[in-house]
Every structure is written in C-alpha cells, then in structure tokens.
Structure 1
Amino acid sequence: MNNLLWLIPAFPLASFLILALTGKRMPPSWVAIIGAGSVSLSAIVTIGTGISFLLLPPVTGNYSQTLWTWMEVAGFNPKVTLFLDALSLVFVFVITFVGALIHIYSVAFMVYDKDYSRFFACMNLFVFAMLLLVLADNLLLLYLGWEGVGLCSYLLIGFWYENPGNGYAARKAFIITRIGDTAMAIGLFVIFYQFGTLLIPDILANAPIVWKSGTAMATITALLLLAGGVGKSAQLPLQTWLPDAMAGPSPVSALIHAATMVTAGVYLIARMHVIFQLSPIAQMTIAIIGAATLLIAGFSALTQYDIKRVLAYSTISQIGYMFLALGLGAWTAAIFHFMVHAFFKALLFLAAGAVIEALHHEHNMFRMGGLKNKLPLIFWTFLIGSASLAALPLVSAGFYSKDQILWYAWSSQNGNPLLWLTALTGAFITAAYTTRMMILTFWGEMKTAPGQQPGKLMTVPLVILAFLSIFAGFLELPHNFGPFSPFSDLLHQVLPETSLKSGISGELLFQLLAFLATFSGIYIAYIFWYKQPQRIEKLKQSETMMRLYRFWLSGWGFDKLYHLAFVRPVIFIANINKNDVVDKIYQGITLMTVYLYRILSFTQSGSLRWYIMGLVIGAIIILGIQIML
C-alpha cells in the first residue's frame, strides 16, 4: 500500500485546483461532489492503508514513498517523500475521516453561500496542507505544510470578508501564529547546522549522539520548536487568536480549530520527542505551559455567552491537557486525547453550527433555551459530545483519554502534585462550563424559536461523531481496568513508554477523585444555572465578582496587554516615521509620474485633426531621418 500514499494528499489537492480554476462556472451540486468527494476518497485510501499497516506491518515499521527531488543546492537535496508510521497514521486518519464528515456537513450548511466553490477550494487546500505536514519525512516539507495550514486558516477565518471584524480576526490569527513560526524556522536552521540534514529519522537517530542530555544547544532547539507549537496550538502566551477565529463558518471551526490545525503543535512535539527528551528544562516548560493554559482557558470558557467562544476556549484548554501530557513524557496519552478530542470537539462545533443555523444565526446562549424537544437529534448528539468533553466517567471516550493524563500527572517521573491538582481543577471547571452550556442552550424557557430542521447531510455526520465520542475510548483502557491497550501498543512502535515513579499505586483512588471533580462541576452548574439561577444574580451584585467575571470574559486581559505593549508602540512609531526620507523618495517618484502623465495627456485631446497632424509630423520626421542617413 505504500505506493498509494501519494493518493491521500493528491485527491484534495486536485479538487482545490479544479475548484479554484473552474468552480465559479460549476453548478453547486458538482462543487459539492468534487469538494466533499475528494476528501472522502482520501479517507477511503487512508482506511485501506491503515488496515494494511495493522494487518501486514511493514518490515521497517513505516511506509515511505519518494515522489521527486525537490531541489539540489550545495549537497542539500531535500526530497518530496511521504512517510507513514504509527504516529502519522493516527493524524492522517483524523484529518481525512473527520475532515470528510465535516465536508459532507458543509455541503448543506454552506449551500446558500454565494462563495460556495471558494469555500470548498480553501477547505480542500487546507486538508492537503495538513496531510503534507504529517506525512513529511523532512522538516522542510513539514514546514511547507505548516505554513500552508496557516495560510488556509487566514483565508477561512476571514471567509466572510465583507464584515471588517472577520478580516481583523483573520489578520490577528495570521500575525500571532507567525511569531511562533519564525522561532520554528530559526530552530530548523539550528538543526541543519548541527546535523547537516533535515531528514526527521536521521535527526532522531543522531540527536542522542550529537547532544548529551541537558546541553544548552538541545534546550535552545527544543524551545524554538516549542515556540512554533505554542503559536499554532494556541497555548500561552500566544493563545489570543483562537477565540476570535470563531468568525469563520462553523465547519471551519470544527475542522481547523478543533480537530486538526491547532493540534499541529502536538504533532510537532511528539514527532521530535527525542530532542525534547534531551532537554528536561524544555520538557518541564511544555508541562507548565499546558497546565497554566488549561486552567486559564477553562475559567474564560465559564464566562462566555457566545456558544462558539465557549468551545474555542474549551479547545485551548483541552490542547493544554495534551501539552501537559507531552511535558510529562506521556506521549501516547497526549496522542490518544488528541484523537478523542477531535471526535467530540468536531461534534460539538458541528452541532453548535446546526443550532445557530436553526435559530437564524443566533450565537448568544442566553437567547436560546428550551431546544431539547424542538431539536431532539441535535440535543442528543450535543449531549454525547458534552459528556465526552466533561469526561463523564465510564460512558464517554473523553473519560478514558483524560484519565490517563490525570494519572500520569501524579505517577510519571516528571509528574508532581501541583501539576496533578491543576489538571484535576481543570476537570472540575470543564464539567461546570460544559453543563452550563447544555443548560442554557437546551433547557429552560425558549427565547428564540427554531426554524428549519437540519437535513440528513448535517445530521448523519453528527451521529457518526457521537458514536466515536462514546466508543473510541475503549481503544485504551486504564491500567487497572485490564491489559487492553491496542492504541498505545501501536504508538509504542514510534514513541517511548511513559516512565513511572517506582512503587507507584492507587490509580483507583485517583480515578475516584476525578469522578468527584467531574460530578461536582456538573452539580455546581446545575445549581447555579438551572435550579437556583438567582444565586448568579446575587453574585453579580458584588463588584469584586463582576470585575473577576469581566477579567475572565476578556480572556484574562491578554488582548489589552498586547495592545498596550506591542500594537500601540508600533502604531506610534509608524506615525512618526511615515514622512521619513524613504517615503519622500517614493512620493517624488509619484509626483514625477503624475507630472509626466499630465504632459502626455495633452496628446490625447480627442480631436481627429490633431491626431492626423501628429501622424503627418511623425512621418515627416521619420522620412527626414532616413534621407539624412
């Protein structure tokens, strides 16, 4: 099956080219077939390749296919080579399978949009770029896909560009992620200088030979790569772009900002895990960033009123759990939570999109309510996704993936009580804001009557994702539940096992504490937003609580801080510098051009006799020159 690897990214790339060049002239049905069909074909090829990979494992542990040599410069000859191992297989499956479901949903969701073909062209280009990122065998090709998904994110966040706010959100995402991307690019230069290659297998094999554990160069390189991951995955301190990215259509939020692009940082760190293992400082930094992010974003989600912004802060928080796991050295736990999160968060974004569409584009949860019986299928699928997000014990996939991270936060060699307590507090807050979201949207008094019910193209993907949000968790059972762990067994072909503290025990006790945190969060939200909502009104009378509420609502004031520290100084300097000598040179060129234009414009008087006279004079001059020669 390795000779078919090229088909996986080729289908969405071909679809993008067709739609970009001819989509405007196609009927919508053709656009839908090409746009959604291409990603579905990629998913089918991925499933076939995955079955082959699992049943007939390659001798080398991976499939590799070289398409062509990209360039040859002074002995540097990176190739366009696709590389599939256990780690990239998980990501490719999520990108294509979940991506296909989102594209099918989009066929109905975007059908009345005037830029229908442009939407699918951008979505297809994104899928291609993300596949290139996770299938690349060298860091240069990976970086091409990395920047490709950044471009597509910009295009799709600002898809409805007529609204200036959407354009601002797209620019904000593009600029903030460039900060991390620049650091990552510097990291690639350092790696090439140290190893003389950007081939990922060679780097991973030679890193322990070139660097000793804890050396400064290993730490610098790891931190530069981490900066790239922090920007792309919206972690502290570069998390501020993701909530505003909800300006894009709901399928964009589901695909890019829940299931795939924002987890690119998780993939990068897991793929380059050997370098991070050589730098305990960088690895602990990852854990601290993840722990701080999951807590800060969780508190912000607890105060939002826009249903998509709740899910946006939730995404930041859940990726924080993945970063925490990576920092702990719980590599397979991070990837397992990535996969499960992709299922339930894509489900929640798509279900939220269906609610917004049914309520005539209403986003405010406080203007919803009472939809449980009016939108029953949306309600049940949203409930399943919410149960998985809240890590409802035993019955949701989110429990099995998050439980591993909580256990490793205590029991792994890098774990400690503070990281565990932070993760446990995050679990409590997650359960609280998730329950609040469910109550405000589906229970209580109906404030906006729903219109048209969503069709099967929108509901079938929800049902499939709901199924996966329940049963995907059984691919990896907790250690005290039994030895069934096919997911980690697969990933251990690529990623090392998590090292635990000696003599560690009591996993059941920690699971009971996680149960208590989850149910406490659910109960608190039930009391405050359903049973006794007057308590919230009483809290709002306190000036201290209102300040805290506004602080969390604003995302802990990071946007204001960055505006004061960076945006205003740049604008101030630009205003001072706008009439410098360089500008005067260009202004002079402009004035000269205008002056010459005005002189030449006299020759275009519109009078036929002047034109004839000009021709006669020109002919006389030419003949005179010829005679003189």
Structure 2
Amino acid sequence: MLELAWLIPAAPLAGFAFLVLLGRRLGEPAAGWLAFLATATSFVATAVVFLGLVAEDFEERFFIQTLFEWVPAGNFTVNAGLLVDPLSITMCLFITGVGALIHLYSIGYMHGDPNFSKFFVYLNLFIFAMLVLVLGDNMLMTFLGWEGVGACSYFLISFWFTDSSNASAGKKAFVTNRIGDFGFMLAMFLVFSTIGSISYANILSSAPGLATGTATAIVLLLLLAAAGKSAQLPLYVWLPDAMAGPTPVSALIHAATMVTSGVYLLTRMNPVLAVADGWATTSIAWVGALTALFAATVALAQNDIKKVLAYSTVSQLGYLFLAVGVGAYVPAIFHMVTHAFFKALLFLGSGSVIHGMKNEQDMRRMGGLAKLMPITAMTFIVGWLAIAGVPPFAGFWSKDEILLYAWNENKALWAVGLVTALLTAFYMTRQVILTFFGRTRFFDATAEEIYGAFDNRLATAGGGVASAEDNLVAAHSAVEKAAADVDKRSQAVQVSAEKLNEAKEALAKVSADDESHAKLQKALDKAEKSVPKASENLASSQHGLVQANSGVDEANTQLATAKSAFAALQAKRNSLALPDEHVTALSEAPELGDLLDEMPNSYRERQEYHPHESPWTMTVPLVVLAGASAVAGGLNLPFSKDLHFLGHWLEPSLFANEAELLVATSTKWGLAVVAIVCALAAIGAAIAVYLRGRAEPQVIEREPFARAWYVDETFARIAGGPGQKGFDLAALFDRRVIDGAVDGVATAARALGTSMQSLQTGFVRNSALGIVVGSAGVVAWFLARLWQ
C-alpha cells in the first residue's frame, strides 16, 4: 500500500489540470465538485498509505518512493521522490482531510462568483504544492512546494484583486515570504556544502556528526525561513492581511497548510537542532513565545471577525515555535493537528456568519446570531472552547502539553505561555459574545449613517435658509421697486396738478365768447379728471410699498426661523459625538426617531435583509470539524504512556530527540489546574465586560493593541523613507554594475567583430597575402625554435 504514495499529490494535480482545461466549461457547481473529489481522493490515498505504514514494523516506517531523476549533474543527482514516514503522513492526513472539507464549504461560499472555476483551480494547486512540501524526500523538493504555496497564497489572497486592499495584501504576503525563502536557500546550500547531499535520509543520518557551529548556523537559517512562512516576529506582518481573500482561503492558509510549513521544516530537521548550540533552540522558543504574547494582545482590540482569528493564528503558531524550541516535537505536532481542526472551524464559522450577514465582518454590527444561525453558533462555540483551553476539548490537551514542556525547560517561557493562554481565552470569549449573544445589532444605525441622516437634514435645512435668503432679497427688491413706483406716481400727481393750474390760468385769460375758450375748457376738464386718477395711483403705489415692507419683515422672520432651526440641528448633531464604531437602535433612541426618513440607502436595505443560516455544503464541514475539535485530544492523552498514541506514532521521525520530561506527576496536575483556572477566569472576565457590562471595553481595547503596536506603520515608514533610498541605490547598482558588466562583454565582442571586418575584403589577393604572411610567421617560429 505504500506504493500508492504517488497518488497523494497526483490527485489534486490532476484536478488542477482538468480544471485548467475544462473548468470554465464545467462551470458552477461542477468545477467545485471536481476539485473536492480530487482532494477527497488524495485523503483516501493518504489513509490507505497510513494503514500501510501502520502495518510496517516500527523501525521500517521510513519509506522513500523515487518518481524520477530530476537533477542529474555528474556525481550529484537530485531525485524527485516522496518520503513516507509518520511525520509526513500525519501532515498529509490533516492537509487533505481539512482541505477536502474546505473545498466542500467553498462550493456554497463561492456560489455566484464569476470566477468560480478559477478559484478551485488555485485551491487544488495549493493542496498539491503543500503535499509536495511535506512529502518531498529532499530539501529541493520541499523548496519546490515551499515556493508553490507562496505563489498560490498570492493568487488566492488577491483573488478579488479589483479591490486594491486585496491586491496589496497578496503582494505583501509574497514579498515578506521572500525573506524567509532566502534563509531556506542559504540553509540548503550550507547543508549541501557540509554533507554533500540534500536528501533527508542522508541529512538525518549525518546530522550527529555535524560541527556544533555548522549545525547552529543551519538552525538559525531555518529559523529565518520558518519565521517567514509561519509568520513569526518580525515577519508576521503578511498573515493578518492574508484574511483579505475569500474566507475558505483564510481557513486553508491559517489552519491546514501554508503557515504550518515552518514548524514542519524545523521538526523534520530535528537531528540538526539536537546538535546545535542550546541558545539556537532557545532562540526559537523565545521567538515563538514573544510572537504568541504579542499577537494575543493585538487580538484583544480587533473588531473584524476574521482579523481576530488572523492574529490568533499568529499567536498559536508562536506556541508551536515555543514547543519546537524546548524540544517538545510531539506536542508541537499534536497542537498543529488540533489547531488545524479548531482554527479551520473558526474561520469557516466566521465565513458562515459573513455569508449570512450580507458580507458584514465588523463584530460590533453583529450580536444575537445564535438564534438566527444555530448550527454556525453551536459549532463556533465548540471551536471557541477548544482554543480557549477548556477541557475536554482538543485545544486543552495539546496546549497544556506545550506549557508542561515549557515549565520543564524554562519557567519564564512557561509564564509567557500561560499569560498568552489567558489572553486567548479572553479575546475568543469576546468574539463569541459580540457575534452570537446580546442584542442583534445588525439592523442598528451606524454612527456614519446617523451622521449621514443629520447631514441630509442639515442639507434640507440649509436649503430652507438659502430659500429664505432668496425670499429676503426678493422682498428688498420688491420694496425698491415699490418705492420707485411711489416716486414716479408722486411726480405724476405733481405734473397733473401743475397742468390743472396752467389750464385754469389759461382759461381765466380768455372770455367766454373767445373761439379758444371751448378748447381750453376741454383741456381744463381733462386736467381736473387726471388729478384724482394720479392721486388714486399714488395711493395704490404707497399701499404696495407698505405691503413690500411687510414682505421684508416676513422674509426676515422666515430667515431667522430657518437659521435658528439649522443652528439647533447643527448643535444636536455636534452634541452626539458618536465614535466611529457606535451603533444605535433608532427604536430605542426617541431623540433620533425623527431621522428615519432621512436615513441613507444602506440602512434601508439592511432593514429588508434577514441574517440566515448557511447552506448544507457550508454547515456539514462545520459539524465535522466541530466533532474533531471536541475529540482530537484523545490522540495524546496524558494519563498513561499507553495513551500517548501520537507520541508513539511519531517516534521513528524524531530519532529520540524529544526533550526528556522531568516533572513530577503532582506538578503536572497542578500546572493543568492553573491553566484551567486561568482559562475560566479569562472567560468570566470577558463575560463580565462584554455581556454584563461591568466595565468599559475601552479599558481592554487600547489603541496600541488595535494598531498592532505600530509595527506595520513603522515598517511602512521605514520602507517609504530610508528604505526607499536603499532600494533606489540597489536599483542603480543593478543597472550600472550588474547590467553594465553583462552589456560590456557583449559590447566588447561586438566591437572586436566590427574591427575584424576590415580583414575580410573578399579579394583573392588579400587572402593570398594573409596565407603568405601567416606561413612566413610559422616558418620563422620553427627556425627560431631550431636555433635555440
């Protein structure tokens, strides 16, 4: 059955090839089912090989299957081969098992995505690369898989690349991992130059004969490699941003594949670690312990449901490095397995929440989802209890074993690990409460929406002020017009009166029998009629002026009222002083109830949406992973050596390099009780703060935590300032020196060829002359030799 090992990576590779060729034609959901079938086939093949390995004698559980000769170079040859042993098969079991569940989950999660088939192309390729990494029988094969998962992570993290933040997260992961890759390559070169081979069989057998200094150098380079891939300080910065991709990608990267690579590599090279100086392995332990504590503090203040889990992953990986550093290889693999179960469960559970809540990721907008999403809630709670270290769930057994070995090695490391465990229980309880318990906040108005409604109302009120100002201007214009009309009519009255007087005087100067008398009498009659008419018009204009002045008074009153209303609304808006994260139920805030008609579309659309449970393709993997998270602790129970199933299984891969545990039984149980009490105390404290409201969350959620201790910002500042100058100098050196040297050789060859062109005229006489001169030179050389 061991000969079927080739099928383990071949199945996802075949799935990848089929999807590249036929994925678009298959479409949704067939492409997803094909990818799932390929990964499930790989899991079945792994299970068959596992049974075959179990059937072998204890000492024979180390099988190499050579596929073909890969790099033949004289006496040096690198084969493409697979190393089948307990360590690699353990890795393959949870990579393919959890990977298959994530594929099944993705069929529901990615429903409706225009690039549905492309997503599964990348997923199958990712699984293949990870299997090559853990099954490779030499460092070059491992490096091939190492680079493969790095490339696939770039494709998947930036899968929705139209969002610039996703594209940036993908590039950040790719570039940061190159630093670790540099350490891997140097370690591989040093191994080859020292041992003369990069085959694990030769490395592991030759490791005891390595010089301590050489082994130490190899270990430190491997630490650099592992810190990059497994996101340890200071190279952790890519992993929190890796949750930018689709949630199944986050689960695959954070739980079952890529981030475990560094721990696997260090564990695989355990004979080299055994020869290195003690301070080198202690460095691994402290890097892990400090990373675990650092990431746990940051997780306390995150509000994105996936970002909490991302920093949790960084912290849990720190636990694994702590375990490797103190020689606890079995607990490291044990916790890696249990972590794969409960972290995949938590990430997929968060994806189910996001899917059911219209892509909402802010926990401050959640709450009360246990009633709306019961399966997701129940399974998520199992994952929470596992990672919080509550017995009998899986995380308690594996984490407690790491703490036990840390106590055995260094009490300070144990203390850091215990504080980290306490913080883990606290921030995970916070996440569960904010997401599934308390009031349902999904329908609440956000501070942005409330301010938006106020702004809408202020805009309306501002329009009222502007309209009142326009009315006032119009009223003043009417007054000016009316006043001008009064002046005009006054002048008309005066003119009419003057004409009447003139008519009277003219009529008085002529006798009644004068022939002009009748004409003048007629003019007088007309003038007498015009005076009352002009007076009447003047009175009308004066009345119009009074009305226009009244209109000005009314417009002033309206303007004052509009300004007063605007000022009151502005003062009400400013008095709110809502923080960005604030959410308010308008039904419970009567002072804001009148804003309902002004709320933006985002609020209205949310009122019409109902959070719901996910489809069965998403909930079935949750149930399976919840079961594994509950019972996986049985792999390595501490009650008896006969119950150390995983420890016995891994012995052939550890070459007796596991640290010896010198702790009394009473101390073991005492430390376990301390860990349980700390976990329960942290859970109780989180309930008091976030469910009972006994303290303000701001006491815990400090700004340095929320901003990850400013590490990212510092890196960005350095890279954008002094770092940029260094990059520019490197680019200048590359152009002038490197390119100059290469181009210079080509230029010299071209110049030499050009100068030789003059000797090739094409004439026979010139060729004959060359022959004669050359022959004479040869004869002269022979004569000179004879003379000597």
- The answer to whether the aligner puts 1:571 opposite 2:732 as a matched pair is no
Separation (CA, whole Å) in 2 of partners of 1:48 and 1:578: 52
What is the Cα deviation at residue 570 of structure 1?
A: 3.6
Residue in structure 2 matched with residue 28 of structure 1 by the alignment: 28
Separation (CA, whole Å) in 2 of partners of 1:467 and 1:203: 39
Say which of 621, 625, 637 aligns to 1:465: 625
- Asked if the contact 1:344–1:385 (Cα under 8 Å) also holds between the matched residues in 2, the reply is yes
The 1:80/1:250 distance shift into structure 2, 3 A limit, reads same
Residue in structure 1 matched with residue 338 of structure 2 by the alignment: 340
- The answer to whether the aligner puts 1:221 opposite 2:218 as a matched pair is yes
Separation (CA, whole Å) in 2 of partners of 1:64 and 1:573: 46
Separation (CA, whole Å) in 2 of partners of 1:27 and 1:372: 34
What is the Cα deviation at residue 58 of structure 1?
A: 7.3
The 1:502/1:407 distance shift into structure 2, 3 A limit, reads closer
What is the Cα deviation at residue 263 of structure 1?
A: 0.6
Residue in structure 1 matched with residue 285 of structure 2 by the alignment: 287
Which of 1 and 2 has greater Rg?
Answer: 2
Letter in 2 for 1:426: T
- The answer to whether the aligner puts 1:487 opposite 2:661 as a matched pair is no
Residue in structure 2 matched with residue 552 of structure 1 by the alignment: 705
Separation (CA, whole Å) in 1 of partners of 2:180 and 2:318: 17
SS in 2 for 1:37: helix
What is the Cα deviation at residue 502 of structure 1?
A: 7.2
Letter in 1 for 2:649: L
What is the Cα deviation at residue 113 of structure 1?
A: 0.6
Letter in 2 for 1:571: Q
Separation (CA, whole Å) in 2 of partners of 1:183 and 1:59: 33
Letter in 1 for 2:673: L
Residue in structure 2 matched with residue 193 of structure 1 by the alignment: 193
Residue in structure 2 matched with residue 139 of structure 1 by the alignment: 139
Between structures 1 and 2, the one with greater helix share: 2
- Asked if the contact 1:406–1:424 (Cα under 8 Å) also holds between the matched residues in 2, the reply is yes
Letter in 2 for 1:475: L
What is the Cα deviation at residue 260 of structure 1?
A: 1.5
Residue in structure 2 matched with residue 125 of structure 1 by the alignment: 125
Say which of 236, 239, 263 aligns to 1:239: 236
SS in 2 for 1:70: strand
Residue in structure 2 matched with residue 183 of structure 1 by the alignment: 183
Separation (CA, whole Å) in 2 of partners of 1:384 and 1:352: 13
Residue in structure 2 matched with residue 434 of structure 1 by the alignment: 428
What is the Cα deviation at residue 310 of structure 1?
A: 0.3
Q: Deviations over 1:109-156 (max 9, x none)?
A: 112111111100001001000000000110011100000000000110
Relative to the length of structure 1, the TM-score reads 0.87
Separation (CA, whole Å) in 2 of partners of 1:582 and 1:253: 39
Letter in 2 for 1:140: L
SS in 2 for 1:494: helix
Residue in structure 2 matched with residue 518 of structure 1 by the alignment: 679
Separation (CA, whole Å) in 1 of partners of 2:682 and 2:663: 33
Residue in structure 2 matched with residue 331 of structure 1 by the alignment: 329
- Asked if the contact 2:425–2:683 (Cα under 8 Å) also holds between the matched residues in 1, the reply is yes
- Asked if the contact 2:2–2:52 (Cα under 8 Å) also holds between the matched residues in 1, the reply is no
Separation (CA, whole Å) in 2 of partners of 1:59 and 1:501: 26
Letter in 2 for 1:443: F
The 1:194/1:56 distance shift into structure 2, 3 A limit, reads closer
The 1:509/1:481 distance shift into structure 2, 3 A limit, reads farther
- The answer to whether the aligner puts 1:529 opposite 2:523 as a matched pair is no
Relative to the length of structure 2, the TM-score reads 0.70
- Asked if the contact 2:373–2:612 (Cα under 8 Å) also holds between the matched residues in 1, the reply is no
Q: Deviations over 1:420-466 (max 9, x none)?
A: 11111011000000100000000111011643421111111110100
Separation (CA, whole Å) in 1 of partners of 2:158 and 2:311: 19
What is the Cα deviation at residue 579 of structure 1?
A: 9.5
The 1:9/1:518 distance shift into structure 2, 3 A limit, reads same
Separation (CA, whole Å) in 1 of partners of 2:253 and 2:35: 16
SS in 1 for 2:80: strand
Separation (CA, whole Å) in 1 of partners of 2:59 and 2:312: 41
What is the Cα deviation at residue 571 of structure 1?
A: 3.0
- Asked if the contact 2:27–2:117 (Cα under 8 Å) also holds between the matched residues in 1, the reply is no
What is the Cα deviation at residue 565 of structure 1?
A: 2.5
The 1:278/1:575 distance shift into structure 2, 3 A limit, reads closer
Structure 2: runs of 5+ lacking an equivalent: 444-609, 740-788
- Asked if the contact 2:153–2:170 (Cα under 8 Å) also holds between the matched residues in 1, the reply is yes
The 1:190/1:32 distance shift into structure 2, 3 A limit, reads same
- Asked if the contact 2:372–2:611 (Cα under 8 Å) also holds between the matched residues in 1, the reply is no
- Asked if the contact 2:390–2:396 (Cα under 8 Å) also holds between the matched residues in 1, the reply is yes
Structure 1: runs of 5+ lacking an equivalent: 540-544, 587-629
Letter in 1 for 2:677: L
- Asked if the contact 2:386–2:395 (Cα under 8 Å) also holds between the matched residues in 1, the reply is yes
SS in 1 for 2:73: coil
Say which of 302, 309, 326 aligns to 1:304: 302
Separation (CA, whole Å) in 1 of partners of 2:53 and 2:72: 32
The 1:196/1:386 distance shift into structure 2, 3 A limit, reads same
Q: Within 5 A, what are the aligned runs for 1:369-408?
A: 369-393=367-391, 395-408=392-405
SS in 1 for 2:68: strand
Separation (CA, whole Å) in 1 of partners of 2:636 and 2:725: 55
Separation (CA, whole Å) in 2 of partners of 1:499 and 1:370: 48
- Asked if the contact 2:210–2:275 (Cα under 8 Å) also holds between the matched residues in 1, the reply is no
Residue in structure 2 matched with residue 71 of structure 1 by the alignment: 71
Residue in structure 1 matched with residue 614 of structure 2 by the alignment: 454
- Asked if the contact 2:216–2:280 (Cα under 8 Å) also holds between the matched residues in 1, the reply is yes
What is the Cα deviation at residue 581 of structure 1?
A: 12
- Asked if the contact 2:138–2:200 (Cα under 8 Å) also holds between the matched residues in 1, the reply is yes
Residue in structure 2 matched with residue 600 of structure 1 by the alignment: none
Q: Within 5 A, what are the aligned runs for 1:491-506?
A: 491-495=650-654, 496=656, 497-501=658-662, 506=667
Residue in structure 1 matched with residue 668 of structure 2 by the alignment: 507
Q: Deviations over 1:510-564 (max 9, x none)?
A: 1111011101110110111111255325x3xxxxx77xx1211121111122122
Separation (CA, whole Å) in 2 of partners of 1:428 and 1:3: 46
After TM superposition, the structure 1 stretch with the greater mean CA deviation from structure 2, 489-498 or 9-18, is 489-498
Letter in 2 for 1:554: R
- The answer to whether the aligner puts 1:258 opposite 2:226 as a matched pair is no
Separation (CA, whole Å) in 2 of partners of 1:303 and 1:159: 27
Aligned Cα root-mean-square deviation (Å):
1.9
**Count of residue correspondences:** 568
Q: Deviations over 1:334-365 (max 9, x none)?
A: 00000000000000000100000100000000
What is the Cα deviation at residue 29 of structure 1?
A: 3.0
- Asked if the contact 1:230–1:265 (Cα under 8 Å) also holds between the matched residues in 2, the reply is yes
What is the Cα deviation at residue 369 of structure 1?
A: 0.2
What is the Cα deviation at residue 504 of structure 1?
A: 7.5
What is the Cα deviation at residue 36 of structure 1?
A: 1.0
- Asked if the contact 2:334–2:646 (Cα under 8 Å) also holds between the matched residues in 1, the reply is yes
The 1:452/1:525 distance shift into structure 2, 3 A limit, reads closer
The 1:562/1:503 distance shift into structure 2, 3 A limit, reads same
- Asked if the contact 1:372–1:443 (Cα under 8 Å) also holds between the matched residues in 2, the reply is yes
The 1:574/1:408 distance shift into structure 2, 3 A limit, reads closer
Separation (CA, whole Å) in 2 of partners of 1:432 and 1:290: 20
The 1:567/1:88 distance shift into structure 2, 3 A limit, reads farther
Separation (CA, whole Å) in 1 of partners of 2:613 and 2:438: 20
- The answer to whether the aligner puts 1:562 opposite 2:559 as a matched pair is no
The higher-RCO structure (CA 8 Å, 6+ apart) is: 2
Separation (CA, whole Å) in 1 of partners of 2:676 and 2:732: 64
Letter in 1 for 2:437: W
- Asked if the contact 1:2–1:64 (Cα under 8 Å) also holds between the matched residues in 2, the reply is no
SS in 1 for 2:94: helix
